[in-house]
A = this chain, B = another copy of it.
Amino acid sequence: MALEMFRKKETLAMRKKLIGQSCRLFYSDDPVKIVRARGQYLYDENGKRYLDCISNVQHVGHCHPSITQAATTQMKLLNANSRFLHDNIVQYADRLAATLPDKLSVFYFVNSGSEANDLALRLAHQYTQHEDVIVLEHAYHGHLTSLIDISPYKFQKLTGQKEWAPIPDTYRGIFREDHPNPAQAYADTVKDVIDKVHQKGRKVSAFFAESLPSVAGQILLPKGYSTKVAEYVRSAGGVFVADEVQTGFGRVGSHFWAFQLQGDDFSPDIVTMGKPMGNGHPLSCVATTAEIAGAFTANGVEYFNTFGGNPVSCAIGLAVLDVIEKEDLRGNSSRVGGHLLDRLTQLQTKHPIIGDVRGVGLFVGLEMVTDKEQRTPATDAAAQVVRRLKEDYICVSTDGPWENIVKFKPPMCFSMEDADLVADRIHHILTVNRPAGSPQTGPLWLSW
C-alpha cells in the first residue's frame, strides 16, 4: 500500500477545499503530513521521525499490534449492535467495574467523550430533576450543543452559559501555594456558586469537572477539593461528575483514574471516559451508580446508541486494558513522568521563563511566564518553543487560557530517553534564544 496518494501540497489544497475550516490543523502555518506511526513516533511523508508528546488518544502507543490484532479478529467474526446479547460488552463492563469504586457499577457505551458527557448531563438531570450545572472556569467538555453550554473555554465566544467556579489553580488562581488550605478555599467557591444558584430559585443538577483540568492548563486539583465539593453538591441534591476523558486509564501512573488522586474516601457519582479508551478507535463510556441508572430507566425512554458497545469496540477496549497491564504502562508512566517532571523542574532553576512545572505521571505542564513575580503569561514564548521543538522533530502543544503552558501527554510507552531528549531540547532552545548579555530574569524576557 502506498503511503501517499497525493503530494503534500495537493493534500493541503484538497483539505482547504473539502474539510470545514473550523477543523484546524496542527502547525497551521506549516502543517505536518503524517503517513505512519508506531509507539511514540510519527513519520512524515519523507520518512522523518517525530517524537509525539501529545497524542494521549494513542494511549498504549500508535498502531500497537495487540490492538490491531484484537480489532481484526473481532471484525472477522461479528460487529452487530448491542441489541443482541454478546459477551464482549459485559466482559468489558466487568473489567472496567473492577477499576472503579464499587458503587460505579452500571455502564453505557458510546462513541466519543462528547457523547459520554452529553449522556452524563442527561443522567444527572433525570436523577436529580434539577437543571443547573456547575463547571470550572476554562473548562472544555466537548463539541456538542449541550457541552458548549458547559464549556467556558468555548462558550465565552458564544451565547448562553452555565455557572462556573474558579479554577483551583494554586499557581495562578485566586488561592495559591502560599494559602494554608487551598482545597477548602476552592471548594468553598463552589459552595458560593451553589448559594448563588439557590438565590435565583434554581437547583443544582451536577458539578461537572475534569479530574485534572487540561485545557485550563494542566491543573492538579488540590487534594481534598473533590471530597469537599462532592459534599456540598450532594447536600444541594446534585451529583458529582468526573470527566476522565483525558485523564483516565492509568495516565497518572499511581492510579487508574485521576479522581483517585483525591483519596480513597472520594468517589464521583458519574464518571465519563473516552480518548485513550480505544487507542484511537471511537469508544467512550459513562459509568454510574445503580440508583442514577435506575432513574434514567424509569423515564421510560430507550437509550439506543447505534455503534456504542459493539463487539469490535469492546474487543479493542479489552485489548487496551490488557496492554496497560502486560506492559506495566502505569509503572512506566510513574517512572518516566516522574523523570520528565524532575528534568523540567531542574530546567526551571536555570530558566526564569519557566514559571511552574507540574504534573503527575505522563500528564505534565510547563508554564511559561515573562515575569516570575507577576506570573505574566509568556504566550509568544510558549508558541516559539512549540515551533522550535517542531524543527527538532518533537511535537508538543500548548494549553491554558493564555496558551502559555507547554503540555506533555504522550503515549504511555514514552521512554526515559524520550523525556531526556525533550528536556535537553527545551534547555537548548531556552538557552540559545536568550538575548545575548541579558540577565536571567526581568522584562527582557518580553523580547520573546
Contacts and interface: CB of A to CB of B under 8 A. Distances in A.
Interface of A: 1, 3-6, 8, 11-12, 14-15, 17-26, 31-37, 42, 55, 57-58, 62-63, 65, 67-68, 71-73, 75-87, 89-91, 93-94, 97, 105-115, 118-119, 121-122, 143-146, 148, 154, 157-158, 274-275, 279-283, 288, 293-294, 296-297, 299-310, 312-313
27 contacts: A1-B73, A5-B87, A15-B89, A18-B107, A19-B82, A19-B90, A19-B108, A20-B293, A21-B294, A22-B293, A32-B85, A34-B78, A35-B78, A35-B87, A37-B79, A62-B78, A62-B80, A79-B280, A112-B115, A115-B115, A118-B144, A118-B145, A144-B144, A144-B146, A154-B301, A158-B301, A282-B283
A76 B157 CA distance: 40
A23 B62 contact: no
Contacts of A309: 19, 23
Contacts of A93: 14, 18-19
Contact of A86 (B1, B33, B279, B313): B33
B111 A33 contact: no
Contact of A303 (B34, B121, B143): B143
A67 B1 CA distance: 15
A83 to B, nearest CB: 4
Given A32-B84, A58-B80, A77-B3, A145 B143 contact: no
A392 B17 CA distance: 51
Nearest to A91: B5
A304 to B, nearest CB: 7
Given A11-B87, A19-B93, 19 more contacts: A1-B73, A14-B90, A19-B107, A20-B288, A20-B297, A22-B296, A23-B305, A32-B84, A34-B84, A35-B77, A63-B79, A110-B112, A111-B112, A118-B144, A143-B303, A145-B145, A158-B299, A281-B307, A282-B313
B1 A31 contact: no
A358 to B, nearest CB: 24
A63 B86 contact: no
Contacts of A89: 15, 19
A75 B380 CA distance: 37
Contacts of A23: 82, 108, 302-305, 308-309
A302 B24 contact: yes
Contact of A145 (B14, B84, B146, B154): B146
A122 B114 CA distance: 15
A148 B305 CA distance: 13
Given A22-B303, A87-B5, A296-B22, A115 B108 contact: no
A77 B11 contact: no
A106 B21 CA distance: 9
Contacts of A85: 8, 11-12, 15, 25, 31-34
A94 B280 contact: no
